[in-house]
Amino acid sequence: MDATTVHGNKFFEYFFAFMVGDWFAFWPITICSVLTIAVVIERSLYYTRNKRDVTTFIQRLQRELERGNLEGAQSLSNQLGGVVGEVAEEGTRLIAVEKEDFSRAFDITVNIVSRKLEKYLSILGTIGATAPFLGLFGTVVGVIVTLQILGEAGGQTQEVVIGIAKALIATGYGLLVAIIAVIMNNYYNNTVRRFEEDFQLLKLLFLSFSTLVNHTPQGGSQPGYRR
């Protein structure tokens, strides 16, 4: 058996001792890790489903607005789908009904959609801030227990080693979960910011044409807003 295998076996032995002996730190950190994985999977799938080629869409939308074709702009937004299509569709509707305070009404729509984009991100932020302290708590308790073992007459060296190992594993475990949560939280916040930048581009586009487009849609009916 080589040294790597021995060290690996020792690590799992110490980790199991930490899991059983320091359950008060292990289980809260483990719950945080499960929540982190769940949020990462859910948000990754959500952002992937809503990813769109916004540059091409805005160019096509601009051409429809230049022609005053609100029904075409509405149809284009509907075909795009996702949160960008939802915001664009509502912007087209606001122009069609000649909304006086377009900017404020459009911002309300953006804020509603932004809540969907930011959903569950606060969980990652909380875990990133809390998990290290859970690990530190386990370390402090582990050190105290180890010192008690050292103070007892006839304390065995192996028990001291296991106690120190458990204390260090507690800190490492908490830091590992926190680092992953912080990295993913920052990444997703940047993703949300890019979506919001797309919304602002749409707002500028609609404001540019809000006083120029024909407010009477083709066919005599106003485009509806898909909820």
Question: What is the pLDDT at residue 214?
Answer: 45
What six digits make up the tokens of 108?
């309300």
**Domain spans, the chain:** 3-220
Q: Let me know: does 144 contact 164? Beta carbons within 8 Å.
A: no
Per-residue pLDDT tens over the stretch 39-83 = 999 999 999 999 999 999 999 999 999 888 889 999 999 999 999
Least confident of 16-30, 58-72, 140-154, 171-185: 140-154
More confident residue, 181 or 208: 181
pLDDT band at 145 (very low <50, low <70, confident <90, very high): confident
| CA–CA dist 226, 42 (Å, integer) | 24
Least confident of 61-70, 117-126, 213-222: 213-222
| CA–CA dist 157, 2 (Å, integer) | 24
Question: What is the pLDDT at residue 5?
Answer: 56
Q: Let me know: does 159 contact 149? Beta carbons within 8 Å.
A: yes
pLDDT band at 86 (very low <50, low <70, confident <90, very high): very high
Instruction: Give the chain's mean pLDDT.
Output: 85
